């Protein structure tokens, strides 16, 4: 039974004007040469060059001078290693050095896609039938580096989306790394990542059961300086450092609009991007709620599933996921516990849907096979398109399937509320397939979502169009649930 889908006439398009001031370091030797040349300038030349830079870029960024100071501080060890009195340098000279260690990066220049949507914490001041929402996107720029950006909107009683104005600047967050680690849990995650055992032992054997981040980092950095280091050992040590860098908190300024906050790759584990965040409004058994998302961190050769959590969209806590089930991509958290346990969807083998239960939101083991590819439009693989949605009839799971010519379609399934391993129904035909005008893009023939909500008894389904831009569709819940129940 084919379900009616109303595609809305709205598009979120890439915008190359949205830039972030990113740290730029062109290698130690070239940085030293650059610093020497700046040190040869007199104070008048320093001020003149700095004023010209600020004149051109201050309007494009909030407090760009603070960014310059911060980026200069990052190369302080290099400067002091050149026997230069860092404290004796003028503030203008430090700012100028920092400006040479800064570059603009257009975070959305290539694509804005794979959206998810959650209810805003603030639902005040709305009329009947309206809902304030936050939409997240995977934004991609030069080099296909992905980050997370946000938009705020209001859904009206007719399910039309009214997008709030986008802010003028983009801010990166302040970062604070976790300072203390449990050795046993840290080692377990390294083994799950298949890091070479002998190099793990060499580094970890002298550390206590509780060790400090800075101690491990200094050990690894020192070992990586060895000019004769073997490639296998270098990769292993980088993976250990990668994991240690993956626990951190983010804090955005309170004078920034949500559209101005970007979660940009910060740790080494994310150097090649933050992919496909599946945000969900999670309500705990005691009634407290927070927004959490699973996403995939990628550093160019290894992926690491991670969890991000926030209660206000200003402060975010980031941590890796552990366990045999925390593998591959495509993890999606249920919005509430089931029989006292957290529940998660996954696609650990890259082909099939799985479900897992856990007492800890970061620890996932014993995945249970949930769905296999069944219909011709999903015979390559099946996975989720975001967190399950609670309905009185069961858990609604929006799925994606890959068929011939690597065409991605969106489907739907219904599972038992008390035991989500029991399938109630599954659409035999796609809910959404790429239309002719949706086939062209960065990756052709793809429609894909990372999360939907239910509003006014309708499924609100944001989705990406061929990994280039995004839009959304509306599906009547009565018709959808009826089709799912009859599909058995």
Q: Does residue 265 contact residue 250 with C-beta atoms inside 8 Å? A: no
Separation CA 422–CA 401 (nearest Å): 20
State the Rg of the chain over Cα. Answer: 24
Q: What is the pLDDT of residues 309-331, one digit of tens each?
A: 999 999 999 988 988 898 878 99
Which pair of structure tokens corresponds to residue 129? 């039938």
Q: What is the pLDDT of residues 397-453, one digit of tens each?
A: 999 999 999 999 999 999 999 999 999 999 999 999 999 999 999 899 999 999 999
For CA atoms 351, 352, 355, 358, give the dihedral sign: negative
Lowest mean pLDDT among 205-219, 370-384, 400-414: 205-219
Q: Does residue 450 contact residue 385 with C-beta atoms inside 8 Å? A: yes
Smallest CA-to-CA distance from 151 within 22, 3, 324, 279 is with: 279
Lowest mean pLDDT among 151-165, 271-285, 406-420: 271-285
Answering whether pTM is above 0.85, one says yes
Separation CA 81–CA 100 (nearest Å): 18
Residue 268 has pLDDT above 70, yes or no: no
pLDDT class for 236, splitting at 50, 70, 90?
confident
């Amino acid at each position: 039974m084919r379900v009616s889908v109303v595609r809305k006439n709205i598009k979120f398009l890439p915008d190359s004007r949205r830039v972030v001031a990113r740290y730029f370091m062109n290698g130690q030797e070239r940085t030293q040469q650059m610093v020497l040349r700046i040190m040869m300038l007199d104070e008048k030349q320093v001020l003149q060059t700095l004023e010209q830079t600020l004149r051109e870029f201050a309007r494009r960024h909030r407090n760009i001078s603070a960014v310059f100071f911060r980026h200069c501080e990052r190369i302080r060890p290099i400067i002091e290693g050149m026997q230069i009195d860092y404290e004796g340098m003028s503030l203008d000279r430090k700012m100028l050095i920092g400006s040479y260690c800064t570059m603009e990066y257009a975070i959305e220049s290539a694509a804005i896609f794979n959206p998810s949507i959650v209810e805003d914490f603030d639902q005040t001041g709305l009329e009947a039938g309206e809902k304030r929402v936050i939409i997240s996107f995977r934004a991609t720029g030069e080099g296909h580096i992905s980050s997370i950006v946000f938009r705020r909107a209001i859904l009206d009683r007719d399910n039309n989306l009214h997008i709030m104005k986008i802010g003028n600047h983009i801010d990166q967050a302040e970062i604070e790394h976790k300072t203390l680690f449990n050795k046993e849990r840290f080692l377990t995650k390294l083994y799950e990542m298949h890091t070479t055992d002998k190099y793990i032992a060499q580094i970890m054997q002298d550390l206590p059961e509780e060790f400090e981040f800075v101690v491990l980092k200094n050990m690894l950095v020192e070992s990586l300086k060895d000019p004769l280091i073997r490639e296998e050992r270098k990769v292993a040590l980088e993976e250990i450092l990668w994991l240690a860098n993956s626990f951190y908190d983010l804090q955005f300024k309170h004078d920034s609009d949500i559209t101005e906050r970007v979660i940009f790759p910060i740790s080494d584990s994310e150097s090649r991007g933050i992919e496909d965040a599946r945000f969900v409004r999670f309500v705990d058994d005691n009634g407290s709620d927070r927004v959490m998302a699973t996403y995939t961190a990628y550093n160019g050769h290894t992926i690491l599933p991670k969890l991000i959590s926030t209660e206000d969209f200003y402060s975010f806590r980031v941590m890796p996921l552990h366990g045999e089930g925390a593998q591959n991509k495509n993890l999606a958290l249920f919005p509430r516990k089931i029989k006292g346990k957290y529940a998660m969807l996954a696609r650990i083998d890259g082909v099939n849907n799985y479900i897992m239960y856990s007492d800890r939101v970061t620890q996932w083991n014993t995945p249970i096979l949930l769905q296999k590819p069944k219909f011709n439009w999903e015979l390559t693989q099946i996975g989720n398109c975001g967190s399950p949605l609670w309905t009185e009839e069961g858990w609604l799971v929006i799925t994606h399937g890959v068929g011939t010519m690597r065409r991605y379609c969106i489907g739907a399934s219904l599972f038992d509320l008390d035991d989500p391993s029991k399938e109630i129904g599954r659409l035999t035909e796609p809910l959404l397939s790429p239309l002719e005008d949706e086939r062209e893009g960065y990756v052709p023939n793809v429609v894909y979502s990372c999360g939907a909500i239910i509003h006014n008894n309708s499924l609100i389904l944001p989705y990406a169009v061929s990994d280039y831009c995004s839009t959304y569709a509306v599906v009547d819940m009565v018709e959808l649930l009826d089709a799912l129940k009859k599909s058995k």
